Amino acid sequence: MDSYGPAAMRPTTLSPVSLVGIEHDFDLRRVRGLAGGDPWVSGVTIDGSSVVQGDLYVGLPGARHHGASFASQAVDAGAIAILTDDAGMLLLDRGIGVPVLVSSRELRPLVGSIAATVYDTGSLDLPFFAITGTNGKTSTTHFLEALLTGLGLVPGVSSTAERRIGATVIPSKLTTPESAELHAIVARMAESGARSVVIEVSAHALTRHRVDGFVFDVSAFTNLSHDHLDDYVDMDAYLAAKVELFTSTRSRRAVVNLDTPAGATVVARSEVPVVTIATVPVDGPAPAADWTVEITEESLDHTAFTLSHDHHGALSARVPVVGRHMAANGGLAVAMLVEAGHSLAEVAASLGADGLIDADLPARAVRIPVSTGPAVFIDSGHSPDAFEKTLSSLRRLTRGRLVAVIGANGDRDTTKRDDMGAAAALGSDLVIVTDHHPRGEDPAVIRAAVVAGALFARPDVDVRDIADPATAIRAAVSDAAEGDVVVWMGLAGKDHRELDGTTVPFSVPDETIAALHDAGWN
């Protein structure tokens, strides 16, 4: 992975802001540095390793450590002031040497507003778009990116896969960056010529105030399914976190997909005007919605659809990826643009040849380019619903056997592992369970839970436990023939694996291509 320093995600032309002004505007009290001059703040960070000269370093309480513990290192790196809470104040070195501000209120909700002030993001006259949901956020984000580019509104993009700032592409660590970093990125996007902004917003981002300080012109909801129950007590709490995006302080308008029952709940709880969208199912009518997506053609390389609205008319388009759910995400992106004020005719004119939404979807049902052998896909989906949707789409197009290579991550939601195994067993002919990111857990225990779920759902399924992922994909490919389809789900999208506190380089595309070549396919 290329290394990008903190400065790569900071604006370079903004004027600094007075620390005294921040102190007064946000009702902070200065407990040290009373006699000195007034420093000028040019950046904000909560990450001691990302400090740039001129930063206000905010020491937040954390799960393991308080950020104030790293204040001295932040000052050494160039921080010109510290902001923390009363607990953090007790952890500061007495001779820290820079002004210290303390807030009596919870700090995390303040960071976004302070960052918006320092980076002046509130003054940007750009359309802002947000996408939330369990699955489909990243593909919808990149479909929207392609459409906006076709309209001449080249966006800055923040997704699970990457941050795109002009010509600079930076791999993502979090689905949504922390608020201080996100405001800096958006300011840099505008400085680099972005004419719109698209941000993928996770439930964690809303719970942890990562998008505070932004109001989105159009926000979208894709779906809700089993995930993140290690962070939320139940699915209702998880949904409530998502619904926060559709309050009047965060969004102006919304487009909500009704393909999962949670969509109707989002509509009912939304504080902003909503239009709805639904996909016509294989059997039966679509739910009543303002927009409908009807799939007109499915292949291993693309999915075509017609998007219809009683008032706006119809648009025929296609996405360069397999899956009815991917077409639904493409339709959602189009509906967002119409809600932003673009006509359907404008959007149609922006499409590529044969109505293509020409998006580059990182690790989303990506087909490995070989001319012989089985069709092989890699996909980053890592939830039961993602498995079910991808496998059901591939099943309809598979002449031979469908082989699924899957795994579950350690130190994450343990309650979904058996359901992931079940989804794979019900959707494929051969399931190979392997290790992905075990982190601090015993990988054998993780695999056993996935295997148990597969066998419980379908006792006669052919399921194999192969710990090493490189060996697993080789087993899948060597066991496949022309007409078969192999899909490796869950690990794609990263260039490493996380093993018990260490990061090990690992490329899913490279290993898959090597496996195909080793099996004699090219």
SS3 430: strand
Please tell me the distance from the alpha carbon of residue 291 to that of residue 483, in angstroms, as a whole number.
36
The β-bridge partners of 318 are 304, 356
Q: Is the pLDDT of residue 279 over 50?
A: yes
pLDDT score of 99: 95
Asked if residue 297 and residue 371 are part of one domain, the reply reads no
Match 């139940």 to its residue by tokens: 234
In this structure, is residue 218 part of a structural domain? yes
- What letter represents residue 40's amino acid? W
Asked if residue 293 and residue 382 are part of one domain, the reply reads no
In this structure, is residue 166 part of a structural domain? yes
Which pair of structure tokens corresponds to residue 184?
């800096």
Number of domains in the chain: 3
**What is the band of 29 on the pLDDT scale with cuts at 50, 70, 90?**
very high
Asked if residue 125 and residue 77 are part of one domain, the reply reads no
In this structure, is residue 1 part of a structural domain? no
The β-bridge partners of 157 are 164, 198
Asked if residue 402 and residue 377 are part of one domain, the reply reads yes
pLDDT score of 225: 85
Higher pLDDT, 294 or 360: 294
In this structure, is residue 361 part of a structural domain? no
Mean pLDDT on 87-116 = 94
Mean pLDDT on 289-314 = 97
Global pTM value = 0.93
The β-bridge partners of 298 are 303
pLDDT score of 1: 36
Which pair of structure tokens corresponds to residue 289?
């919605």
CATH number at residue 443: 3.90.190.20
Asked if residue 338 and residue 322 are part of one domain, the reply reads yes
Comparing CA positions, the residue from 382, 401, 404, 400 lying closest to residue 391 is 404
C-alpha 205 chain-centroid distance: 10
Mean pLDDT on 414-433 = 96
Q: Is the pLDDT of residue 169 over 90?
A: no
pLDDT score of 352: 86
Asked if residue 238 and residue 133 are part of one domain, the reply reads yes
Please tell me the distance from the alpha carbon of residue 478 to that of residue 473, in angstroms, as a whole number.
8
Q: Is the pLDDT of residue 188 over 90?
A: yes
Mean pLDDT on 33-56 = 88
Which of 324, 355, 386 represents a domain boundary (last residue)?
Answer: 355
Which residues of 60-215 form beta strands (DSSP E)? Answer: 81-84, 100-102, 128-132, 155-158, 162-165, 168-171, 196-200
Which of 95, 113, 131 represents a domain boundary (last residue)?
Answer: 113
In this structure, is residue 24 part of a structural domain? yes
Which of 355, 390, 410 represents a domain boundary (last residue)?
Answer: 355
Mean pLDDT (the chain, rounded): 93
**What is the band of 337 on the pLDDT scale with cuts at 50, 70, 90?**
very high
Which pair of structure tokens corresponds to residue 312?
């706006």
Eight-state DSSP code of residue 56: E
Full domain range(s) for residue 470: 366-518
Asked if residue 376 and residue 309 are part of one domain, the reply reads no
Query: Residue 55: CA atoms inside 13 Å, Cβ hemisphere, count?
Result: 29
In Å, how far are 146, 219, 319, 326, 398 from 359, measured between CA atoms? Answer: 5, 20, 8, 11, 24
pLDDT above 90 as % of the chain: 81
Q: In this structure, are residues 306 and 322 in contact, taking their beta carbons and an 8 Å threshold?
A: no
Match 């969509």 to its residue by tokens: 263
Angle between helices 417-427 and 384-397 (to 10 degrees): 10
Q: How many residues comprise the chain? A: 522
Mean pLDDT on 498-513 = 93
In this structure, is residue 485 part of a structural domain? yes
Comparing CA positions, the residue from 415, 386, 375 lying closest to residue 491 is 386
Sequence-ordered list of residues with C-beta below 8 angstroms from that of 125, at least 6 positions apart, any chain: none
Angle between helices 469-478 and 508-518 (to 10 degrees): 40
Which pair of structure tokens corresponds to residue 350?
């922006």
In this structure, is residue 487 part of a structural domain? yes
Asked if residue 385 and residue 244 are part of one domain, the reply reads no
pLDDT above 70 as % of the chain: 98
For strands 40-41 and 17-18, give the pairing: antiparallel
Q: In this structure, are residues 250 and 242 in contact, taking their beta carbons and an 8 Å threshold?
A: no
Please tell me the distance from the alpha carbon of residue 248 to that of residue 136, in angstroms, as a whole number.
24
Quick: pLDDT tens for 213-245. Answer: 999 999 999 999 877 677 777 888 999 999 999
Asked if residue 188 and residue 79 are part of one domain, the reply reads no
CATH number at residue 50: 3.40.1390.10
Eight-state DSSP code of residue 244: G
Mean pLDDT on 75-85 = 96
Query: Residue 382: CA atoms inside 13 Å, Cβ hemisphere, count?
Result: 20
In this structure, is residue 360 part of a structural domain? no
**What is the band of 150 on the pLDDT scale with cuts at 50, 70, 90?**
very high
Neighbours of 416 (CB within 10 A): 25
pLDDT score of 38: 84
Asked if residue 490 and residue 458 are part of one domain, the reply reads yes
Asked if residue 56 and residue 35 are part of one domain, the reply reads yes
Neighbours of 163 (CB within 10 A): 25
Q: Is the pLDDT of residue 5 over 70?
A: no
Mean pLDDT on 316-344 = 97
CATH number at residue 157: 3.40.1190.10
Q: Is the pLDDT of residue 170 over 90?
A: no
pLDDT score of 228: 65
Asked if residue 126 and residue 71 are part of one domain, the reply reads no
**What is the band of 3 on the pLDDT scale with cuts at 50, 70, 90?**
very low
